[in-house]
Homo-oligomer: A and B are copies of this chain.
Amino acid sequence: MEHLESEETEGRQKLHDTRHNFISSIAQNMDLYGLSETNGRLYGTILFSDKPMTLDDMSQALEMSKTSMSTGVRSLTEAGMLSRVWEKGVRKDLYQTDDDWYKSFTSIFVNRWRESTDKNKNAAVKAKSELEFLFQITGKGSLREEIQKDLEILDQAVRYYSWLNEVINLFENGGIFDIIPKK
């Protein structure tokens, strides 16, 4: 019996270690999604939790302050990686991960890229129109040529961002799954 118990705790330790290693891996690569490694570890911890977690649970699990958990949870929630869940009789806020990775990771990807692409495209369009005006009122000369050259670059930029925008749409509306089906 004694022996079995030790096997049990040993196995539990192994399970914990394995989890920990995997969580470390995804946490280290979470910067691709705009999340810090710590928040990645937080996400991983909640992902493997068998039940929704409170801030105190997280604080204990990661041995970090509750304040940090609070801000981390906010980031993850805003990114759409986490959602708050209700349980009657429980006063504390409970959080859990969405178990559809396609949805979670696609949405965070789309949000980030959409925002930056829009900004850049707008900046390019604005710059272009400014230079087009400047081009009009500039007499022949080296300046005029420089403007011309900048306009070509900006034109390319706008086209690139338009393309990128469509790529993002493909992910947002799920069209990507027609091309590369979920596994």
Contact = CB atoms under 8 A, between A and B. Distances in A.
A93 interface: no
A143 B50 CA distance: 12
Interface residues of A, number: 65
Interface in A15-73: 15, 18-19, 21-22, 24-26, 28-29, 31-32, 34, 47-48, 50
A106 B101 CA distance: 23
Interface string A134-164: 1001110101001101100110110110111
B29 A116 contact: yes
- So how many copies of this chain end up in the complex? 2
B119 A29 contact: yes
Contacts of A31: 34
A14 interface: yes
A146 B14 CA distance: 12
A11 B138 contact: yes
Nearest to A130: B18
A159 B156 CA distance: 37
A166 interface: yes
Contacts of A32: 112-113, 116
B15 A150 contact: yes
Instruction: Among A102, A149, A183, find the residue whose CB has the most chain B CB atoms closer than 10 A.
Output: A183
A15 B163 contact: no
Contacts of A2: none
Interface of A: 4, 8, 11-12, 14-15, 18-19, 21-22, 24-26, 28-29, 31-32, 34, 47-48, 50, 99, 101-102, 105, 112-113, 116-117, 119-120, 123-124, 126-127, 130-131, 134, 137-139, 141, 143, 146-147, 149-150, 153-154, 156-157, 159-160, 162-164, 166-167, 170, 176, 179-183
